[in-house]
Amino acid sequence: MRQATCSVCGSEQPSGEMFALEGKPICAACAGNRPAEARAAGEKLQLGRIVDTTVCSVCHADQGQSELPLIGGLPVCANCAPKLYAWPFPLWLKAGMAVLLVLLGWALWHGRDYFAAGRHMVIGERALDRHDYRRASDEFVQVLKFQPGFQKAILLGAKANFLAGDPESAMPFFNERDHYEHDTLYNEVNGMLKRSVDAVRKARRAVALDDAGKHSEAAQLMNEAAQEYPQAENLGTMAQVFSARAAFYSKDYDAALKFSDAAWHRNPNDPNLSASLASALACKYAITGDPQFRSQAEQMLAKARELSDRSLADHAAYLQYSPRILYRLESRQIIDNAEYDRRFGRKGAQP
């Protein structure tokens, strides 16, 4: 422990208990009123405690005249130094943190359904963005298992199916909830619903017109339906088929061939579309006599036969329309179903 002499009263005291006033040692008694006096006089005072580097500032152990190393400007003995670098956390704090960790674990376990729903939601939205509508729809179905009635999942699931051209699969999503908030997504999907309903309604009217023999009107209406809901592949195909039929009855066999070919290219594995194309090619052969049209018609008819073997209904239809097409190729006469039935007394299926 070092001693110092007070510059005011001259007393000798341990330096660690004294202050430095303007760089000179002063005892606590003499320094007592100095701060107040300086404030009253408006003076700035340089007053600080003297650090005795021979006394540990933590345990106050006296090292005699040996100076201790400084940590943070304070003398610290070898016993106390490690404690400063490993200040312990109190027990109540550790217990509190443990309780929080347990709460966290329980919250994560309790919320696992939400995490699962969130994961499916993210995957579904990404699938929707990259136009994988089937995958998107499946993911939103999973979301609704964990979070029934979740509006965003319902609307996005319906949207995915509308964009896939499958409005029938979109409709069950709307059963999940009675009331909807009219936000941007709701308005978008509601618009899709209305367009799909309008398109289907027009398509049904077109079928009725076609059955009634009004082929041109039917074709026009079916094309409108396809334009209103372009995502519906079947409507687009039906538009081509109806257009081909209207052209046939208008005796525009070039147009009939063009539309039949377009319809077949949309679904080359459909036996009825193959047969329609064969029928249009047979018309062209009947008109022009070009053997290439006959060859192509026979190839398409063979393809229709091969494809129709996959189902009884398709095969039955093939047995109905194939004789008419063959008759057209052999006779180079273009007659419709009604005329064929009248001549040969049998119902012809209409590809």
- Binding-site string for another protein from residue 108 to residue 147, where x marks contact by CB under 8 A and - marks none: ----------------------------------------
Per CB under 8 A, which region of 71-79, 257-265, 315-323, 341-349 contacts another protein? Answer: 71-79
For the record, the structure tokens of 94 come out as: 């550790």
* Single residue of 51, 71, 163, 171 touching another protein by CB under 8 A: 71
Q: Choose among 206, 186, 264, 196: nearest CA to 230.
A: 196
What are the helix (H) ranges across 164-183?
167-174
To another protein, the closest distance from the beta carbon of 74 in angstroms equals: 7
> According to the binding rule CB under 8 A, does residue 81 interact with another protein?
yes
Query: What single letter denotes the amino acid at residue 127?
Result: A
* Single residue of 74, 163, 255, 287 touching another protein by CB under 8 A: 74
Location of structure tokens 């994988």:
132
Report whether 223 contacts 216 (CB < 8 A): no
* Single residue of 10, 23, 73, 291 touching another protein by CB under 8 A: 73
What are the helix (H) ranges across the chain?
28-31, 34-41, 81-85, 91-110, 112-129, 133-146, 151-163, 167-174, 184-211, 215-228, 233-249, 253-266, 271-288, 291-308, 312-331, 337-344
Q: Choose among 175, 167, 220: nearest CA to 195.
A: 167
Q: What is the DSSP letter of 349?
A: P
Q: Choose among 304, 240, 302: nearest CA to 270.
A: 304
- Binding-site string for another protein from residue 233 to residue 262, where x marks contact by CB under 8 A and - marks none: ------------------------------
To another protein, the closest distance from the beta carbon of 71 in angstroms equals: 5
Residue with smaller CB distance to another protein, 85 or 109: 85
Distances (CA, A) of 121 to 116, 148, 231: 9, 13, 23
Per CB under 8 A, which region of 26-34, 82-90, 214-222, 318-326 contacts another protein? Answer: 82-90
The C-alpha atoms of residue 338 and residue 346 are separated, in whole angstroms, by 9
> According to the binding rule CB under 8 A, does residue 313 interact with another protein?
no
Residue with smaller CB distance to another protein, 60 or 346: 60
The C-alpha atoms of residue 292 and residue 109 are separated, in whole angstroms, by 72
- Binding-site string for another protein from residue 51 to residue 70, where x marks contact by CB under 8 A and - marks none: -------x------------
Report whether 193 contacts 162 (CB < 8 A): yes
Residue with smaller CB distance to another protein, 90 or 291: 90
- Binding-site string for another protein from residue 85 to residue 114, where x marks contact by CB under 8 A and - marks none: xxx-xx--x--xx-----------------
- Binding-site string for another protein from residue 14 to residue 53, where x marks contact by CB under 8 A and - marks none: ----------------------------------------
Interface residues with another protein (CB under 8 A) are: 58, 71-74, 76, 81, 84-87, 89-90, 93, 96-97
